[in-house]
Structure formats: C-alpha cells, structure tokens
Chains A and B, each alone.
Chain A
Amino acid sequence: MIEELFYFIQQLLNGLTIGSTYALIAIGYTMVYGIIGMINFAHGEIYMIGTYVSFVAIAGLSMLGVEYVPLIVLCALVIAIIVSSSFGWAIERTAYRPLRGANRLIPLISAIGMSIFLQNYVVLAQGTRDLAIPPLISGGWKFGPDSFQASLSYMQLIIFITTFVCMFALTLFISKSRMGRACRAVAEDIKMANLLGINTNRVISLTFVIGAALAAVAGLLLGLYYGVANPHIGFIAGLKAFTAAVLGGIGSIPGAMLGGLVLGLTESFTAGYFSSEYKDVVSFSLLVLILLFRPTGLLGKPDVEKI
C-alpha cells in the first residue's frame, strides 16, 4: 500500500517535471497565437536549437577550463537564450512578416517550411545522430520505504524552480510593465493598438523573442535532464507544447501553464500505470475529450460570434 503511494508520488514528480517544460514551450505558441493568430510551427525547432546551443556552450566552457557547474549552466543559459531569441527574431522577420494579413493558411505553410529548414540546418551543422553530454548535475533525494523509493533529483528541483521563476517573471512583465501592457493591448485589438501609437511591429517581434527565450530555457533544462539531443526532438516537443497550449486555451498564458502541467501529468501517469508506448495516444485523446466539452480549452475565452 505504502509503496503504491510512493509510486504515485514518483509519477506525480515526473509528470510535473515534464509538464513544466511543456508549459515553457507552450507559452511561445500561445503568445504568438494570441497576438497575430498564427500557429508558429517552427517554435519546436527553436527549443531544439536551444538544446544544441547549450550543449555547445557547455562543452566550450568546460574546454576552457571552467569547472564550477553553476557558472557553466548559467553561462550556457544566457548563450542559449541569446541565440534562440535571435533565431526567433530572424524567423519572424524573414518568414512571417512579409505574409502578415494573408490568408491564415499561408503563414502556417511558411512556418512548416521554416521548421523543415531549421531542422535540416542543424542536421547539416551538427550531424543527425544523437549527441550525449555527461550529466552535470546528478544526485537527489530519496524517500519512502525500502521496497520502493521515490526520488526527486536535484535536476528536477532545478526545473521546478527555474520554470516557476520564468513564469513569475513573465506574469509580472505582462501585467506590470509598459511593454507588457502594450502586448496585452495588441492581443486585444491590433488595429486599435496601432492607432493608439503602439509600435505593433516591435510588440510582435518582442513576442517572438520572449517565446524563443522561454523555449531556450526549456531546451537547456530538458537537455540537462535527458542528457541527449538530436535534430528531431523539436518536432515532437513542439507538438506536445502546442497540444498543451490548445488544451489550456490558446492565446491565454495561464492556460498554457495549466495545459502543460495537465499534459505532463497525463503522460507520466499513462506511462507509469498503463504503457509508455501509448502515452501520446492517451494525451491526444484527452485533448479531444477536453475540447469536446470545452471547445476553447480549459482557460480559453469563449468565442463570441458577432454578426
């Protein structure tokens, strides 16, 4: 009995870990969708690039002889954020901005093209096989009876804390700062915001940069957590994060956070109690179920049809 409880706790912890990283990536989808109403399909690739860049940075720093792990991780984080944000900015500038105002399928195709491009860019630059890095942060706490011990690794704790800090900072930024207010205004009504003197182009660029930065954070965290990366991780992570964003109600930032956690928990419990092969099947079915009863997601605003 007591083992089962700890087994449950273990699944809960795993689910929260993976869910919080989904939430980080999902914010990028949801913010972009909230402001210009497009699905940024290339966002998953930004996450993948974040992982790669942080691996390169970690390897570079340890080659330079830096041995203090927190410093390495912090530097890698900063570098990954800078590079990923640049990618986010550049993608918006080259592939999406010329298409603004076109039929909404057009930017979608462009985004899919961009996603293929980025994936193959990394294949070309770093090869297609798995890259592994040695674990930087190992160890953790174990608790529970001897027969089954639940464990919370330091890495998981770091993921929780970092995600929480990022979410908190983002919420503060969106609700308190001047630029955040501009973001909300543009999401509400882009034309009106333009008329009121908000530089909407800048706000849109900023959304892409923020989304990319959060994806880079997720890239670093998951990269360290799993220790491996390949150029194809972006697609599935992006798909999951997009599912999370829709689950929570696309366009809503708290929704993305909630959706990520719900999705992560569903996956981890399915894998723990049922079968890990079918965890994606279960999470997509959950998505369909939730959308059937709440067609705009958990926290999405209901669509009002105006005639």
Chain B
Amino acid sequence: MKKNFNHALFTALITFIVSFPLLGLSLKSGGRFMAIEGANDHTFTMIASAILMVFLFQLFRDQILGLLKQIPTPSLKLHVLTDMPQAKRNHMENWFTFAVVVAAIIWPFLVSRGSIDLATLVLIYVMLGLGLNIVVGLAGLLDLGYVAFYAVGAYSYALLSEYFGLSFWVALPIGGMTAALFGFLLGFPVLRLRGDYLAIVTLGFGEIIRILLNNLTSLTGGPNGIGGIAKPTLFGMEFGRRVKEEGNSLFHEVVGIDYSSSYKVIFLYLLAILLVLLTIFVIRRLIRMPVGRAWEALREDEIACRSLGLNRTIIKLSAFTIGAAFAGFAGCFFAARQGFISPESFTFIESAIILAIVVLGGMGSQMGVILAAIAMTVLPEIAREFQEYRMLMFGLMMVLMMIWRPQGLLPSKRPHMELASNE
C-alpha cells in the first residue's frame, strides 16, 4: 500500500507537470511583447480532475485491476474466425466476400451522397492498404514512404491529362507503370539495406518526392497543385451537366434520364469498387504464385531463403515494384475523383495512416486490411463532430488499438509449425 501510495503520488505529479504548463498557461506574444495567461476555470477543473483520477487509479490499482478481471470480457467474434481451420475459413470468406460485394454494389442507390463519397475514400484506402500489404505484410519490408508512389500515380494522371489530354482509362495503366518504375528505381539501390535503415530511406524518398512536387512549380504548379483534372468517362460518356471534351456524350442524355449530380458520385464509387476487386483478385493470385510464396518465405527467414537458392534482390524488388504499382493506380483514381491535387495530400501522415491500416488489419490478411481501412477512415469522420479534438483522438486511437490488439484485427493464419520459443 505504501509503495502504491508513493507511485500514485509520483504519477499524479507527472500528470501535473505534463498538463499544467501547456494546457493551463497559454502564451501570447507578438513583436517585443509576450505574456502568459491562465486558461479558463473549466480547463483548470479538467486538469485537477485528471490528476485526481490518475492518483486514485494508481493508489487502488490492485483493487481496480482485480475488479476488472472479474468482469468477463465480451469475447470478440473475430476469435471464431481466426481459430477456424484454414480451408473452412477460406470457404466462409468467399461467401462472405460475395455477399459484401453484392451489398456494396446495391448500397449506393439507397444512401446519401455524403456516405457514398466517404465510401469511395474508404475504397481508395483499401487499395492503398492492399498494395502496402504486399510490401510490409507479405514481404516484411518496412516502407514509410509509400505515399510517394501514390503521389506519382496521381500526378501522372494529372499531368498526362493536362498536357496530352489523355483520358482516365489510358492514364490509369500509365500511372501504375510510372509508380512501379519509381518503385523499381528506388528499390534497386536500397533493398539491400535491412529493417529500419530501409524505413528511413523510404521515408526520405517520400519527403523528396513531396519537396520536388512543391518546388518544380513550372511543371506541377508547386504548392498550388493542379486543378481541373478531367473526370473519368464511361465508354465516352461524361457525367457532368455539359460536355467538356469534344466527341464525348452525356450519360444522362444517352440513357435518357434527367440530370442528377449523384450519378457521377455513384459512378466513381462503382469504379472504385471495380478497382478494389481487381486489386484483391490480382493480389490473391500473386500470393498463390511462386513469387508470393517467396515473399512470405523471405519475411520469415531470409537466410533459409537464400540457402534454398532464392534470389532475394529479385523477390524484394518484385514486392516493392508491384506494391508501388497499386499505389499508382490508387493515385490515378484519387486524382480523377478529386479533380484537384496538391502536395498537401501526400504528406507523411498519409503514409502513416496506410501503414497503420496494414498493421491494424493484421499484416498480410486482406480481409483485415479492408476492415482496418474502414475503421481508420470512418472513425475520424464520425469524430468530425468533435472538431478540434478529431486528430487528437485519432492519435490516441492508434495507440489504444495497438495496445488492445497488437496482432491486428484479423491476423492471417497459415499452416505452419512453430518451435517452442521461450521469449
């Protein structure tokens, strides 16, 4: 009890130090003038109650933790999935996927425009998460600059459509290829680095791309970005009110219905669904191919791989390049959807969010990535009500989720044998 009391006193003191100087005193300054002001009473009450809570919790922590243990924790449904045999789980997942796809296709006709927009955003993150999943989850290469390839894809489409008037459908493969080329060029020198060295180099690469986009003003428009990017068309049909480009027709005229702005939103959403399905399909095939097996083998044990005669450079490079290509596709779509892009959209925080999606999803599992992408995009949207607390809560959520489920929402499970390890 005495030990707990000392500890409680200490943590309460720390809470005070951590909260009071920044929250309680606010600095006003300008020119040669500076002063501090105390915050309002409400803030002080909050600080005091926080300190009291920490103190009481630490003082009675044994009792509280004991009480908490007695409450049966609601067992998560996901456990059922992870404990199932792999074949059965695959079978169930297939049916589930089919049902979800059908629901996802019907769904936009029933809900509001805002939710479709949000769902499209989720789908972009799903695509990015699936792409990064190849690099981080399957091949085990820590990439902190994934957003660079996303940016390359987006700018490829924006520039191609601005300077050469290429349509979305032509630019999409080109954007993916360009991003893949960048991935290849970056991967070639750096993939012999290990673990965290690779992380900082990719992070640096992401920053380099952003700085270049910001400073090559004549080409990319610098911080102002590129606007007025053409929207995708459906077999030459545009979704605007009037035809923007010669030779195109209008969707509502061809089909013979009244113009509505929501057609465009629904079309973009369905397009995103299509791209995501394609991504899922391709990656599923890749995982079953020798190269996919090699990725996972390399992640598990590099030395064993090399002694079996696998060329680690080629394997790593293929993962890096293919991952980059998917980011490129996502970028193209993003540029087409937004109609406007600027380096602002490709900051490190995006990379961090995508990485968080992969890790939270459970490293290597596709369903997990999709679930996590939904969680990471929809939760901040819900938290929009809290205005200024939004990002604060987002950061906190990332920490709490890692503590709550370090193995991810749906960790991928493959048939394997494990040596008893005493760690």
Binding site for B on A (CB under 8 A): 33, 39, 49, 52-53, 55-60, 62-63, 79, 82-83, 86-87, 89-90, 94-95, 98-99, 101-110, 112-127, 131-134, 235, 239, 242-243, 246, 250, 277-278, 280-281, 284-285, 287-288, 291-292, 295-297, 303, 305, 307
Closest Cβ neighbor of B304 among chain A residues: A307
Q: How far is the CB of A40 from chain B (nearest CB, A)?
A: 12
Known contacts A106-B359, A124-B389, A246-B200, A112 near B352 by CB under 8 Å: yes
Once the chains are docked, how many angstroms separate the CA of A291 from the CA of B201?
A: 9
Known contacts A109-B356, A114-B399, A115-B395, A242 near B200 by CB under 8 Å: yes
Once the chains are docked, how many angstroms separate the CA of A209 from the CA of B403?
A: 22
Among the 9-residue stretches B154-162, B173-181, B202-210, B284-292, the one with 4 or more Cβ atoms under 8 Å from chain A is B202-210
Once the chains are docked, how many angstroms separate the CA of A94 from the CA of B201?
A: 29
CB neighbours of A127 from chain B (8 A): 26
Binding site for A on B (CB under 8 A): 14-15, 17-18, 21-23, 25-27, 29-36, 136, 142, 189-190, 192-197, 199-201, 203-205, 207-208, 211-212, 214-215, 303, 348-349, 352, 355-356, 359-360, 363, 388-389, 391-392, 394-399, 402-403, 406, 423
Q: How far is the CB of A236 from chain B (nearest CB, A)?
A: 9
Return the 6 tightest CB-CB contacts between A and B, nearest first: A113-B398, A117-B395, A116-B395, A284-B204, A120-B392, A113-B399
Please determine whether A112 and B201 come into contact, CB atoms closer than 8 angstroms.
Answer: no
Once the chains are docked, how many angstroms separate the CA of A118 from the CA of B214?
A: 27
Known contacts A126-B27, A134-B34, A281-B211, A56 near B21 by CB under 8 Å: yes
Once the chains are docked, how many angstroms separate the CA of A119 from the CA of B205?
A: 23
- Cβ-defined partner of A295 (8 Å) among B194, B212, B215, B403: B194
Q: How far is the CB of A209 from chain B (nearest CB, A)?
A: 11
Please determine whether A117 and B399 come into contact, CB atoms closer than 8 angstroms.
Answer: yes
- Cβ-defined partner of A125 (8 Å) among B26, B199, B205, B303: B26
- Cβ-defined partner of B34 (8 Å) among A102, A115, A133: A133
Known contacts A79-B21, A105-B359, A121 near B208 by CB under 8 Å: no
Once the chains are docked, how many angstroms separate the CA of A90 from the CA of B25?
A: 20
Once the chains are docked, how many angstroms separate the CA of A209 from the CA of B47?
A: 23
Known contacts A243-B204, A292-B189, A110 near B22 by CB under 8 Å: no
Please determine whether B360 and A109 come into contact, CB atoms closer than 8 angstroms.
Answer: yes
- Cβ-defined partner of B201 (8 Å) among A95, A131, A287, A305: A287
Once the chains are docked, how many angstroms separate the CA of A102 from the CA of B25?
A: 38
Please determine whether A53 and B21 come into contact, CB atoms closer than 8 angstroms.
Answer: yes
Known contacts A113-B398, A121-B22, A281-B212, A59 near B29 by CB under 8 Å: yes
Please determine whether B211 and A83 come into contact, CB atoms closer than 8 angstroms.
Answer: no
Once the chains are docked, how many angstroms separate the CA of A118 from the CA of B395?
A: 8
Once the chains are docked, how many angstroms separate the CA of A305 from the CA of B195?
A: 14
- Cβ-defined partner of B190 (8 Å) among A63, A86, A107, A288: A288
Known contacts A250-B196, A280-B207, A83 near B21 by CB under 8 Å: yes
- Cβ-defined partner of A114 (8 Å) among B18, B27, B395: B395
Please determine whether A99 and B18 come into contact, CB atoms closer than 8 angstroms.
Answer: no
Closest Cβ neighbor of A277 among chain B residues: B215
- Cβ-defined partner of B215 (8 Å) among A49, A59, A278: A278
Closest Cβ neighbor of B215 among chain A residues: A277
Once the chains are docked, how many angstroms separate the CA of A295 from the CA of B235?
A: 51
Closest Cβ neighbor of B137 among chain A residues: A105
Please determine whether A125 and B189 come into contact, CB atoms closer than 8 angstroms.
Answer: no
Once the chains are docked, how many angstroms separate the CA of A109 from the CA of B26?
A: 30
Known contacts A125-B23, A246-B197, A110 near B399 by CB under 8 Å: yes
Could you list 8 A-B pairs, sorted by A, with CB under 8 Å? A39-B196, A86-B18, A105-B359, A125-B22, A134-B31, A243-B200, A277-B214, A278-B215
Please determine whether A101 and B200 come into contact, CB atoms closer than 8 angstroms.
Answer: no
CB neighbours of B193 from chain A (8 A): 291, 295
- Cβ-defined partner of B35 (8 Å) among A59, A104, A239: A59
Please determine whether B14 and A86 come into contact, CB atoms closer than 8 angstroms.
Answer: yes
CB neighbours of B203 from chain A (8 A): 239
Once the chains are docked, how many angstroms separate the CA of A33 from the CA of B196?
A: 10
Please determine whether B403 and A134 come into contact, CB atoms closer than 8 angstroms.
Answer: no
Please determine whether B196 and A246 come into contact, CB atoms closer than 8 angstroms.
Answer: yes
Please determine whether A63 and B18 come into contact, CB atoms closer than 8 angstroms.
Answer: no
CB neighbours of B196 from chain A (8 A): 33, 39, 246, 250
Q: How far is the CB of A17 from chain B (nearest CB, A)?
A: 22
Closest Cβ neighbor of A297 among chain B residues: B197
CB neighbours of B14 from chain A (8 A): 86, 89-90
Known contacts A62-B34, A86-B14, A288 near B395 by CB under 8 Å: no
Please determine whether B402 and A99 come into contact, CB atoms closer than 8 angstroms.
Answer: yes
Q: A105-B359, A132-B31 are in contact. List 19 more A-B contacts (CB 8 A).
A: A39-B196, A53-B21, A59-B29, A59-B35, A59-B36, A60-B25, A83-B17, A99-B403, A105-B355, A120-B391, A124-B392, A125-B26, A126-B22, A246-B197, A250-B196, A288-B189, A291-B190, A291-B201, A305-B303
Once the chains are docked, how many angstroms separate the CA of A58 from the CA of B204?
A: 35
CB neighbours of A124 from chain B (8 A): 23, 388-389, 392
Q: How far is the CB of A82 from chain B (nearest CB, A)?
A: 6
Once the chains are docked, how many angstroms separate the CA of A132 from the CA of B27?
A: 10
CB neighbours of A303 from chain B (8 A): 194
Q: How far is the CB of B213 from chain A (nearest CB, A)?
A: 11
Once the chains are docked, how many angstroms separate the CA of A246 from the CA of B392?
A: 29
Please determine whether B356 and A112 come into contact, CB atoms closer than 8 angstroms.
Answer: yes
Known contacts A86-B17, A239-B203, A126 near B136 by CB under 8 Å: no
Please determine whether B406 and A113 come into contact, CB atoms closer than 8 angstroms.
Answer: no
CB neighbours of A291 from chain B (8 A): 190, 193, 197, 201
CB neighbours of A122 from chain B (8 A): 22
Once the chains are docked, how many angstroms separate the CA of A239 from the CA of B207?
A: 10
Once the chains are docked, how many angstroms separate the CA of A299 from the CA of B144?
A: 24
Q: How far is the CB of B219 from chain A (nearest CB, A)?
A: 14
Q: How far is the CB of A267 from chain B (nearest CB, A)?
A: 13
Please determine whether B36 and A60 come into contact, CB atoms closer than 8 angstroms.
Answer: yes
